Structure 1
């Protein structure tokens, strides 16, 4: 089932996040999220699930030396990386913490962002209540999340495509449909939701898609879970690696105000 076109070993998490951030798709949606934050000099902004610090520099530039940027992540290794990468930015601090129980007092920040974080956590509803707690009245939260149930991968046998997406939504991503749920969950947490922006991510190159989707690695796991036969998986991957390729998925940017 192995194809020389696709990765067979998962990259380190920091490598993966850096790789994603370097894509045109990520640069475009991150720029839009930054615009929607509406940062001004002197603002305090939270990057919740900041990872290796990919976006902390841009946030620091927007709030200027008069503002403050606080990155929070649950993983100590990524916190260490983010601290190292922002060591020359005096307005940036990075803390280890749980988005369900933030190590911050009430009404700390003017703005907050989460980027592809809520899809992985245990309780998005609880996290949204916690984010509202630490935002000041009139504060703004900008979230970006995919809806994995919208993932389509073209293949002559549409059953393979459905099986692949079903496996991802059932078994791989904890909150696979969070993109469509964000507006409702935010309203239930007490936010108003003035803006929902759907962004369609389109992949035309199989290798570029594989770097984000892990096509072969995911297919191998789907075989073990019974979503594909060995023969079906081989046919699926052979076509993806050799034929014209197209995959797409909807990504949602949601603005919530406290």
Structure 2
């Protein structure tokens, strides 16, 4: 599995806060998750969305949470211990070991952005989905890029940050816009795309988003600093970005694209 460049001691807290800040239940319902479904949460992390999915499918349904990070799975099992209709699996999403056509509904959020070659992973999601079932991928498009007014230090530095992540891990900041084509080429039908804000901040960002980016930028420093010519230049960019988040005169927003398709 591709190395997860965002791993840190604070990552579980960041992921939980991020998941709780987004209207995931609305996205799940809109894309067809229903009571009684057998569902799969791919890249489940600490289990926040798995918990929501298990509640949505109810006692007649079930959910499997899949991840390759042992610590995240421990956190997910603890979070969902009170639920009797979900379990967790340590596996690579490109070769899960799950049986063919096992799920009515397969969900993955914030995973495909880290996959340099998304096609094998998408093929695996289709393999484990039954005929007539739905595959749904929720992912970013240009996360962190849309700001106005934008200081030159941020405007010039952000492509360097993206270049660092792309080189280190194959991270794709525009993967969200690519999923429609990938779904069609994979053979999914009735493909639809839902556009939603990941965040919209007119003025000063709240404490959750500020902490999210503080964790991101500190974690990425070893990878990103060489692209800025050194640690001090990277830290200057990081301070400028954090100042932008807190600027009461600036608009900041990021886009989430939720792509769904039906397996014939």
Match of residue 257, structure 1, among 245, 254, 262: 262
Q: CA deviation at 1:90?
A: 1.4
The farther-off stretch of 96-105 and 59-68 is 59-68
Query: How many correspondences in the alignment?
Result: 245
Match of residue 227, structure 2, among 225, 228, 240: 225
Do structure 1's residue 236 and structure 2's residue 247 form an aligned pair?
no
Cα distance change on mapping 1:162 and 1:103 into 2, 3 Å: same
| Distance in 1 between residues matched to 2:67 and 2:238, nearest whole Å | 38
Q: How large is the Cα RMSD of the aligned pairs? A: 2.8
What is the correspondence of 1:74-89 to structure 2 with a 5 Å cutoff?
74-89=68-83
Q: Deviations over 1:103-144 (max 9, x none)?
A: 201100000100111112342111111100000001101211
2:165 equivalent in structure 1: 172
Q: CA deviation at 1:33?
A: 1.7
Task: Give the secondary structure class of the aligned counterpart of 2:114.
Answer: coil
| Distance in 1 between residues matched to 2:161 and 2:150, nearest whole Å | 20
2:92 equivalent in structure 1: 98
| Distance in 2 between residues matched to 1:113 and 1:90, nearest whole Å | 20
**Does structure 2 retain, via aligned residues, the 8 Å contact 1:148–1:169?**
no
Q: Deviations over 1:68-120 (max 9, x none)?
A: 11111011111111112222211111110111111201100000100111112
The farther-off stretch of 222-231 and 115-124 is 222-231
Please, which runs of 5 or more residues in structure 1 have no aligned partner?
A: 1-9
Do structure 1's residue 115 and structure 2's residue 119 form an aligned pair?
no
| Distance in 1 between residues matched to 2:132 and 2:112, nearest whole Å | 22
**Does structure 2 retain, via aligned residues, the 8 Å contact 1:198–1:251?**
yes
Task: Give the secondary structure class of the aligned counterpart of 1:182.
Answer: helix
**Does structure 1 retain, via aligned residues, the 8 Å contact 2:35–2:61?**
yes
Do structure 1's residue 140 and structure 2's residue 134 form an aligned pair?
yes
Q: CA deviation at 1:56?
A: 1.9
Q: Deviations over 1:146-169 (max 9, x none)?
A: 112672233454x33332331333
Do structure 1's residue 55 and structure 2's residue 57 form an aligned pair?
no
Do structure 1's residue 247 and structure 2's residue 252 form an aligned pair?
yes
Cα distance change on mapping 1:86 and 1:209 into 2, 3 Å: closer
